[in-house]
Amino acid sequence: MKYFFIPGRNYDLSKAELISVVSSNIPSVHNFEFKPDYIVLDSKETPDAIARLFNRLGGFISCGVRYDDIDLILDEVGDRTKITFGLSIYTDKASKYSKSNIKDVLEQVKDLLKSRGVSSRYVIPNGLLLDSAQVIHNKILEKGFEIVIFDYEGKQFYGKTLAVQDINRFATVEYDKPYTNKEMGVLPAKLATIMVNLLGLKIGETIWDPFCGSGTIPLVALMNGYNVIGSDIDPEAVAGTKKNIEWLAADNKLNSVGVNIFQFDVLNPDSRTVRDLRRTTIKGVVCEPFMGPPQFKPLSQAKANKLLVGVEEMYKKLFETLEHIKLTDFKAVIVIPSYKTHNGWLTLSLNSIVSKKWRVDSNLVERDLHWKRSNSIIKRNIFVLSKKI
Ligand SMILES: C[S@@+](CC[C@H](N)C(=O)[O-])C[C@H]1O[C@@H](n2cnc3c(N)ncnc32)[C@H](O)[C@@H]1O
pLDDT in tens, 335-367: 999 999 999 999 999 888 988 888 887 766 667
Distance in Å, CA 262 to ligand 1 centroid: 12
Q: Answer whether 0.75 is exceeded by the pTM.
A: yes
Indicate if ligand 1 lies below 6 Å from the C-beta of 174: no
Matching CATH topology for 2-165 and 172-387?
no
Q: State what percent of residues in the chain have pLDDT above 70.
A: 98
Indicate if ligand 1 lies below 6 Å from the C-beta of 234: yes
What would the mean pLDDT of 128-136 be, rounded to a whole number? 93
pLDDT at 6: 98
Structural domain boundaries in the chain: 2-165, 172-387
Indicate if ligand 1 lies below 6 Å from the C-beta of 217: yes
For residue range 272-330, list pLDDT tens digits in order. 999 999 999 899 999 999 999 888 899 999 999 999 999 999 999 999 999 888 777 88
What would the mean pLDDT of 97-102 be, rounded to a whole number? 93
Q: Which CATH number fits domain 2-165: 3.30.310, 3.30.2130, 2.60.40, 1.10.3470?
A: 3.30.2130
Q: Does residue 247 surpass a pLDDT of 80?
A: yes
Indicate if ligand 1 lies below 6 Å from the C-beta of 196: no
Q: Which homologous superfamily does the CATH classification assign to the domain defined by 172-387?
A: Vaccinia Virus protein VP39 (3.40.50.150)
Nearest C-alpha to atom 15 of ligand 1 is from which residue? 290
Q: Yes or no: say if 371 and 380 are a contact pair by the CB < 8 Å rule.
A: yes
Ligand 1 pocket mutation pick from 290, 295, 336 by most atoms within 8 angstroms of CB? 290
Indicate if ligand 1 lies below 6 Å from the C-beta of 86: no
